Structures are given as structure tokens and as C-alpha cells.
Amino acid sequence: MVSDWVLPDEVLADAPSYTPRPHELADLELLLSGAYAPLNRFLGTEDVDSVAAAGTLADGTQWPTPVTLHVPADTVSSLDSSSPMSRVLVLTDPEGVPVAAVDAVELTPVGDGSVRVAGPVRRIGEVLHGPFRRLRATPAATRETLTTQRVLGVIADRPLHRPQLAEISRAAHTLAAHVLILIPVAGLGPDGLPPAVLVRSIMAARDRLPKSTIVAVPLSQRGDDVRDGLLSSRVAAAYGATHLLSMGRSFAAGGSGVRIMLPRQLCYDARDGQWRALEDVEPPFRRQAMSPSEISDMLDRGFGLPDWHTPPAVAAELRRARPPRRKRGVVVFMTGLSGSGKSTIARGVYDALLETGERTVSLFDGDVVRRLLSSELGFSGTDREANIRRIAYVASEVAHHHGVALCCPIAPYAAGRAEARRMAAEAGADFILVHVSTPLEVCEERDRKGLYAKARAGVIESFTGITDPYEVPKNADLTVDTSEIAVDEAIGQVIDYLVDGGWIETVPY
């Protein structure tokens, strides 16, 4: 349960507010719902250090991963952790509606202009929007729907194809258990599906499940498989699971009391259309389950998923969410120094796609965006990141509606480029990072606007490549150097990449 500390209305009215990042909002909802019990707070230094070192809170309670809240320092500058009436921070949803308050009993600077705010949380409002809200039941409400003493929990972070459905049915029958399907809806799943798509695909398989309860849970992945698995098992236990079926993921009980069940290796028996243990089917009649990469490849190329592997209703949802690449939205994001040739290449690709008429295409040139969308922004690190977020947001909306968005900002920081990739993925679109890697000395020689000269003379501050860093991409999908090839050839390389990947069919040159 959440903390019962009292907050007078006048304290809430005067308190600073902050909209947490997506994974922090997910943690907040789990704290408020009781899914993180016995945890009821964002962790402070002592607990964070203890979790990192020993996998326990400072009081010895097993806990797998830090649950923290990082807030810009200027947002919490008025807070006083020693004064109960002056340490309240209001947390809002993305639309600015207050949903909770933190009693900030500890404020710890953590670098990059942020402060870790630690303390108990209290609900002060409800999140009333978002898809599938009806499925977001609390652990207490969920436990009331369970009809047996044994409850088989399944973390359904991928669509349920026939092999998974067969394994769930087998395990539920073996245990005589009610099935509890927990669908993580905080961020993209391992297959890159947006949460709403994942939920629709699971619901499409509902009639093929044994008696079950389906709940959408704001459970996010933090990149550590072991700790993520431990946290998932604790959340599953809070919702009432007594057993947890490991469906391609690693789980451990980790103090939750839930028992982990390992799946069998199943294959399709071509003789009667049943899914059985691998050793029970003779080799000539075996069909192996398709891997996630094989499924993605078939969808990318526009092939239907075979009925023996995927129920038709599930396949239909996946086809709708992941159309063939030739019909799917894509963000082509070109990054490089000023004068590297980004805008020229982007304009050439744009013109070529307009000639074919094959795809709807939009161009977001860095200078034009600065003039029309970001005219009030400067060139500090914070303002540069804000500019990239704006470009990424608009581009992802274009791609969400199956268009091609060509972007060519400098985008000097890896974090900003990663955010752009994430936005595109959440919009159900593809993202292609093109590094125009033309060397600094060549860019400076081409300096038609005199910007490099002004930067070296100190007239322009915060100029990328001179006084500000450029973080060279480590994950570029395509690298082009216009000091080594002609512009037309560089344009051709980008177009060839789009053709080879299946995003366009016609070679427009």
C-alpha cells in the first residue's frame, strides 16, 4: 500500500510539478497500485547502493533493481527535504494532470543537472486516458477474479502463436490452474511492437486460451535480463500468480514465493496438426516453431504467417501493425557535421522519391526546422536536444501514417539520436540512421556561410566540431562520406539501401 502521509491542499497548490520519464511513470503506477509491495517509495542512496551490491533494500528485503526518480535540478530547487511542508513534489501524467505526490525526504545530485528524489508516494489523481485502460486492474482487484488456488502466471511480452498457446494449455492442465496473462505495456516489447499492438494480438488469441484473466501491467524492461526477470516474478506474485511460466525469458523467484516453470521444446506434428514435445515427434513429421526473426522477416516481405504456426486472428493483427516494408512508414535520419552534405543528399533522395510517386515523402531540413519549429531555441546542449525531439516527433507522426520522413539535422549527441529511434519505433515505423561522415577539414573547406570561421574567431559559441563535441554514431545503418564520392553517388547509396531493404520498389535514377 502507498504511504498515508497527509497533504494539505495549499501545499499541493504551491508544490513544484514534474512529468516523469516513461519508465518512471511505469514505476509510479506500480508503486501506487501495490504491485511493488512492500515497496511504497522511490529509493534513496542507502537503498540504491544496497540493491546494487546485494540485491536487497537497506533493511534486508530482497529487491532486484533500483526504483528511482531523477528530476531536473531547477525543478526541485525550492524543495527542502528537512521541512515536511516544503518537500512535496507533484508528479503529472504526460498531459500535465497531477496523479501523485512524492514526500521528498532525500535530494541527491546525480550529475547532468539532475537530482534523485527519494521518498514515499501518494495518489492524488487518476490516469484517465490511454488505450486499454479497462485492462489495468490493480493486484487486489485481479486476485478477486482468480478461481483456483494455483494460478499460472504468463508474462506475455510477445504475441502468442500456436506453440506458446499449446504450452500454456499444457501447463495449466498439469497444475489445474487458472491462467493469469500479464501484458507489459510500458514501452516497446522485445519484438519492437508498440503496447497497443501487443495487447490486440494477445486479445486475438483469447478464445484459444484456457480459463484466464488478462491484465495490462506497466512493467518496463531495464536492459538487465536477470534483474528484469526477478522484478517480473515479484510483480506476478503481487497479482496472485503461484507459478510463472518462462516463455523464452529467464525468471527466478527472488523472494517472491512464486514457482518457476520451464517450458518444453515443442514442435508441430504434421501428421495430426498437434504441438508436442520434440522427442515425441518423428523427424520426418517435425516442423520447428518459427523464431521471432523469421516471423519479422515474413511480415517485412509481405508474406502471410502460416496457419499451422499462428492463429489467423493473431496473424491479422500482426499484418495490420507490421505491413510490408514497401507500405510501412520509415524515418531516414541523416546526421553529420555542418557542411557534410546531409541536406544535399536528403534533398536528392526527396526529389527522386517525388519523381516515382511511389511513396508519400516529407523533408525536414535542419535550417528550415530551426526557422519554423525551433526559432526560439539556441545552441546549448539542452536546446539542441529539444530541437532533435521536435524533429523526431513530427517525423514519427509522418511515418506513423506510412510516409517516408527524411531528416537532416546535425544531431550531435547519441542520446538525441536514440530518442528519435525510440519515437519512430513507438509509432510503428522503421528508423534508418545515416551517418554522413565527411571529415571536419572538408566540411570547413566547404563553409559557404562562414560559420566555421566565425566559430574559430569566437563569434559563434557552441559550434559542433569546434567548440562543441560531435558524438560519432556507433550504430549507423549506413555511412556515407562525400569527400570520397560524388553527391549523386551518395544519393544513390541511400536510395539503394531503401530498395534493398524493401521500403521502395522502383529505382528512381
Distance CA 232, CA 244 (A): 10
Distance CA 144, CA 300 (A): 42
Shared domain check, 315 and 210: yes
What local confidence, expressed as pLDDT, does residue 130 receive? Answer: 72
Shared domain check, 357 and 289: no
Shared domain check, 150 and 94: no
C-alpha closest to that of 479 among 503, 502, 497: 497
C-alpha closest to that of 211 among 276, 146, 154: 146
What local confidence, expressed as pLDDT, does residue 251 receive? Answer: 67
Instruction: Give the residues across from 121 on adjacent strands.
Output: 102
CB 253 within 8 A of CB 259: yes
User: What does the pLDDT profile of the chain (509 residues) look like in tens digits?
Assistant: 344 555 556 666 778 899 998 889 999 999 999 999 999 999 999 999 999 999 899 999 999 899 999 998 888 888 877 776 678 899 998 888 899 999 989 999 987 778 999 999 999 888 766 778 889 999 999 999 998 999 999 999 999 999 999 999 999 999 999 999 999 998 878 888 889 999 999 999 999 999 999 999 998 887 778 888 888 999 999 999 999 997 766 666 666 788 888 888 899 999 999 999 888 998 999 999 999 999 999 999 989 999 999 999 999 999 998 899 999 999 999 999 999 999 999 999 999 999 988 899 999 987 777 777 776 777 677 777 888 999 999 999 999 999 999 999 999 999 899 999 999 998 889 999 999 999 999 998 888 778 888 888 888 877 888 888 899 999 999 999 999 899 999 999 999 999 999 999 876 65
Quick one: cell of 172?
A: 495449466
Could you tell me if residue 69 is inside a domain? yes
Q: Model-level pTM greater than 0.85?
A: no
- Three-class secondary structure of residue 462 per DSSP: coil
* Domain finish residue from 123, 143, 178: 123
Could you tell me if residue 509 is inside a domain? no
CATH number at residue 279: 3.40.50.620
Could you tell me if residue 222 is inside a domain? yes
CB 4 within 8 A of CB 123: no
Estimate the crossing angle of helix 312-321 against helix 292-300, to 10 degrees.
60
* Domain finish residue from 96, 123, 150: 123
Could you tell me if residue 507 is inside a domain? no
Amino acid at 402: H
CATH number at residue 37: 3.10.400.10
Could you tell me if residue 290 is inside a domain? yes
389-447 tens-digit pLDDT: 999 999 999 999 999 999 999 999 998 999 999 999 988 899 999 999 999 999 988 88
Q: How many domains does the chain have?
A: 3
Distance CA 159, CA 28 (A): 26
Shared domain check, 236 and 222: yes
C-alpha closest to that of 478 among 444, 425, 430: 430
Q: What is the DSSP letter of 239?
A: T
What is the CA angle 73-79-82, rounded to 5? Answer: 130
Shared domain check, 392 and 463: yes
What local confidence, expressed as pLDDT, does residue 509 receive? Answer: 58
Shared domain check, 158 and 246: yes
Could you tell me if residue 194 is inside a domain? yes
* Domain finish residue from 123, 157, 183: 123
What local confidence, expressed as pLDDT, does residue 107 receive? Answer: 92
Could you tell me if residue 3 is inside a domain? no
Contacts of 457 (CB under 8 A, 6+ apart): none
Shared domain check, 314 and 393: no
Shared domain check, 97 and 86: yes
Shared domain check, 139 and 227: yes
CB 127 within 8 A of CB 29: yes
Side-chain-facing half-sphere of 317: CA atoms under 13 Å: 21
Shared domain check, 254 and 140: yes
Shared domain check, 271 and 154: yes
End-to-end Cα, the chain, rounded Å: 64
Q: What's the domain range around 212?
A: 132-322
Shared domain check, 83 and 193: no
Could you tell me if residue 363 is inside a domain? yes
CATH number at residue 392: 3.40.50.300
What local confidence, expressed as pLDDT, does residue 15 receive? Answer: 84
